[in-house]
Amino acid sequence: MRTSIATVSLSGSLTEKLTAAARAGFDGVEIFENDLLASPLTPEEIRARCADLGLGIDLYQPMRDMEAVPAGEFARTLRRARAKFALMNRLGADLVLVCSSVSPLAEDDDALAAQQLYELADLAQDFGIRVAYEALAWGRHVSTYDHAWHIVETAGHPALGTCLDSFHILSRSRGPKDLEGIADIPGEKIFFLQLADAPLPAMDVLQWSRHHRRFPGQGGFDVAGLLRHVLRAGYDGPLSLEVFNDVFRQAEAGPTAVDARRSLLLLQEEAGLGALPAPVVPTGVAFAELVTPDAEPVSALLGSLGFARTARHRGKPVELWEQGEARVLVNTGPALPHTRLRASGGTPTDGTRLAAVGLESPDPAAAARRAEALLAPVLPRRRAAGDAPLDAVAAPDGTELFLCATHRPGLPDWRADFEDLAGTPAPGAAVRIDHLSLTQPWHHFDEAVLFHRGVLGLDAQESVDVADPYGLLRSRAVSTADGGVRIPLTVGAAPADATAHARHIALATDDVVAAARRFTEAGGRLLPIPANYYDDLAARYEFADGELETYRELGILYDRDAHGEFRHCYTHTVGRVFFELVQRDGGYRGYGAVNAPVRLAAQHAAR
């Protein structure tokens, strides 16, 4: 039989995946939308590449959340489908996968599902395309193959068939009897067969217990609630951590033990025991500090971004660059001994790197006392005679966190250690630092989240998975309630991957288009984003005239959430650091994670 493989099953860029599939002797591929969006090749070029390699494009996927939706939503669905069918014509693909809906908008109405799938198939037929409808195991109303087939049968359109997927069928199967209905489906209505195996059992409580325990505060249990019950019983013995965890088994014991005890200190605080100094939540980012062996490329980049060199440290080779409330220190001195980064992977210490962060603190000394009580190494104050005392602690990844005050009466001002340079800064478009993305060594991700929550009093958002071409990244942001401080912490699967481990500084602007133009006119290079990405945006959203063309020209990415909109673009990378220009409107809360796979692929391609 003909053999095919989904591009999502292989690592790398789309081109690398196609080459690997062809060399292994596959006849065709399923192209995943994300692989196409992230590719710099046009659909016609992808088609030609496949033809050269002797590969057919057997399936394009996926279309999601299409069926059994209210009429207004279905009109938008058809609009999106039309764009995708046109794309498939360019690709030379004639079969599209539609997964059963997981949308809360979907109704439990087989007749409506059949009717809308009929209309979709009718539209597809005009493009010479067939539609394969598949039940996801976690579909909202349709989750079994026989249910999906029943809807396809009811619809009765020649361009509509079903797709069977061994994972979705077998993950729900309670025995061979469940499979007997398959033989009753006419073979010609089974448009596609997807195969995957999976380990059994998925995860039982024993596996969960033996491999995936965490320290209190690093999982989803209410351990403090339990502790309160135990204290109420009158228990006064030890609080003992018994954590079976595959990662802790291989991580260096010293830092793990510190992480462990910090978790117990925070647990006791949460349960009303112990007396830690109260949290002092930072109110903003005072500065980000880049350490670099060569200030030239960094200075050029900062200049293009609209930063001006405004001051120089009185005693050390550190320059201050400013723009609005955004401040970047450029340190060309030797790396300080305490900034050692974990050997277990993480940002390498060579080249330009984001090594320190100044956090605006209402009470720097009190914030440092809490950090010290929570076992954060307090760093020797870097001061020459006359310097302002400056409280700083090391985060688990070695990043220096300065707890400081800028121009605030009654508090030592770190800015006072800097001597102003002549000249007034030209007004740039950035107004402040929106967020700082700090990649983490992979052994210590949960530790880093707990540190930032517990020591700095930041809130942790949900963890999100981000597909990098060469592995999956996990990202979890910590921030203040008002967004004054936002720090996405990210960990990559492959410790050796320099692209996935670069850190970045995101600058807030009121007008990202103006900022991007200003940057390129000043000689800066924005990360080029593939055209396919914009074709997809056009299918998903309606934009004002010319808006999308501007984004396409500049490489601006777009996202939307329940609160507002997000527009952002990226500079080229210097050493291990790049910048992002962002425009948040209407209370958008995220970081454009949906666009991260496209950005990461573009960064890999730009290397």
- Distance, CA of 252 to CA of 137 (rounded, Å): 40
> Under rule CB under 8 A, which residues in 152-181 are in contact with its own copies?
164-172, 176, 179-180
* Contact call for residue 258 and its own copies (CB under 8 A): yes
Per CB under 8 A, the segment of 111-119, 200-208, 294-302, 322-330 that binds its own copies is 200-208
Minimum CB distance to its own copies, residue 195 (Å): 5
Quick note: the x/- pattern for its own copies over 336-375, rule CB under 8 A, is ---------------------------------------x
Contact between residue 414 and residue 402 where contact means Cβ atoms under 8 Å apart: yes
Q: Which of residues 373-402 bind its own copies (CB under 8 A)?
A: 375
Closest separation between CB of residue 110 and its own copies, Å?
Answer: 21
260 makes contact with its own copies (CB under 8 A): yes
236 binds its own copies (CB under 8 A): yes
Closest CA to 136 of 65, 200, 201, 86: 65
Q: Which of 8, 388, 411, 460 binds its own copies (CB under 8 A)?
A: 8
115 lies in the binding site for its own copies (CB under 8 A): no
Q: Which CB, 241 or 605, lies closer to its own copies?
A: 241
The one among 39, 101, 116, 194 contacting its own copies by CB under 8 A: 194
Give the interface segment with its own copies, choosing from 292-300, 420-428, 465-473, 558-566 (CB under 8 A): 465-473
* Count of beta carbons in the 10 Å neighbourhood of residue 75: 11
- Beta carbon nearer to its own copies, 355 or 448: 448
Name which of 25 and 546 has its Cβ closer to its own copies: 25
Give the C-alpha separation, 474 to 343, whole Å: 20
Cis peptide before 389, with omega less than 30 degrees from 0?
no
Q: Return the residue matching tokens 């989803």.
A: 220
CB of 262 to its own copies, least distance (A): 8
Among 111, 257, 384, 514, binds its own copies (CB under 8 A): 257
Q: How far is the CB of 136 from its own copies (least distance, A)?
A: 8
Q: Is residue 410 at the binding interface for its own copies, with CB under 8 A as the rule? A: no
> Smallest distance from the beta carbon of 439 to its own copies, in angstroms?
16
Strands (E) in 33-175, as ranges, are: 56-63, 95-99, 130-134, 160-165
For residue 216, which amino acid is it? P
| Distances in whole angstroms, Cα of residue 99 to Cα of each of 141, 145, 603 | 12, 11, 31
**Total residues interacting with its own copies, rule: CB under 8 A:** 126
Judge contact between 27 and 57, C-beta under 8 A: no
The SS3 call for residue 367 is helix
- In the complex with its own copies, the residue whose CB is nearer, 83 or 273, is 273
Question: Which listed range, 462-470, 502-510, 527-535, 586-594, lies at the site for its own copies (CB under 8 A)?
Answer: 462-470
Query: At a CB cut-off of 8 Å and minimum separation 6, what does 245 contact?
Result: 211, 212, 213, 214
**Considering the rule CB under 8 A, would residue 196 count as an interface residue with its own copies?**
yes
Is residue 248 part of the contact set for its own copies (CB under 8 A)? yes
Residue 212 is a binding residue for its own copies (CB under 8 A) = yes
Query: Site residues for its own copies, window 121-140 (CB under 8 A)?
Result: 137-138
Binding piece for its own copies, criterion CB under 8 A, among 258-266, 386-394, 427-435, 508-516: 258-266
- The answer to whether 36 touches 43, Cβ cutoff 8 Å, is yes
Neighbours of 197 (CB within 10 A): 8
Which residues within the stretch 54-83 sit at the binding site for its own copies (CB under 8 A)? 58-59
In the 8-state DSSP scheme, what is residue 344? T
Q: What does the per-residue mask of binding to its own copies show for 466-495, with x meaning CB under 8 A?
A: -xx-xxx--------------------xx-
Q: Under 8 Å CB-to-CB from 535, ≥6 apart: which residues?
A: 83, 87
Report the C-alpha gap between 160 and 348 in whole angstroms.
53
* SS3 of residue 328 by DSSP: strand
| Pick 197 or 542: Cβ nearer its own copies | 197
Closest to its own copies by CB, 76 vs 228, is: 228
Are the CB atoms for 439 and 477 separated by under 8 Å? no
Contact flag: residue 222 with its own copies (CB under 8 A): yes
Number of Cβ atoms within 10 Å of the Cβ of 186: 9
268 interacts with its own copies by CB under 8 A: yes
Does residue 538 interact with its own copies by CB under 8 A? no
End-to-end CA distance of the chain: 40
- Residue 302 is encoded by which pair of tokens? 């900062």
Site string (12-31) toward its own copies, x via CB under 8 A = x---xx-xxx-xxxxxx-x-
For its own copies, which residue of 70, 156, 225, 427 counts as binding (CB under 8 A)?
225
Q: C-alpha angle with apex 466: 578 to 41, nearest 5 degrees?
A: 75
| Cβ–Cβ under 8 Å, residues 418 and 311 | yes
Q: Please, what sign has the CA dihedral across residues 283, 287, 290, 291?
A: negative
Residue of the chain from 214, 309, 518, 568 that contacts its own copies (CB under 8 A): 214
> Could you tell me the smallest distance in angstroms from the CB atom of residue 338 to its own copies?
17
Identify which range of 1-9, 84-92, 322-330, 518-526 contacts its own copies by CB under 8 A.
1-9
Helices (H), 404-459: 445-454
Q: Residue 261, SS3?
A: helix
Residue 373 CB neighbour total at 10 angstroms: 16
Taking the complex as a whole, the smallest distance from the CB of residue 23 to its own copies amounts, in Å, to 6
Rounded least distance, CB 210 to its own copies, Å: 8
200, 385, 422, 544: which one binds its own copies (CB under 8 A): 200
For its own copies, the closer of residues 13 and 583 by Cβ is: 13
Put the strands of the sheet holding 486-492 in their side by side order: 459-468, 471-479, 486-492, 430-440, 503-509, 577-585, 565-570, 557-560
**402 neighbors 282 (Cβ within 8 angstroms):** no
Shortest Å, Cβ 312 to its own copies: 40
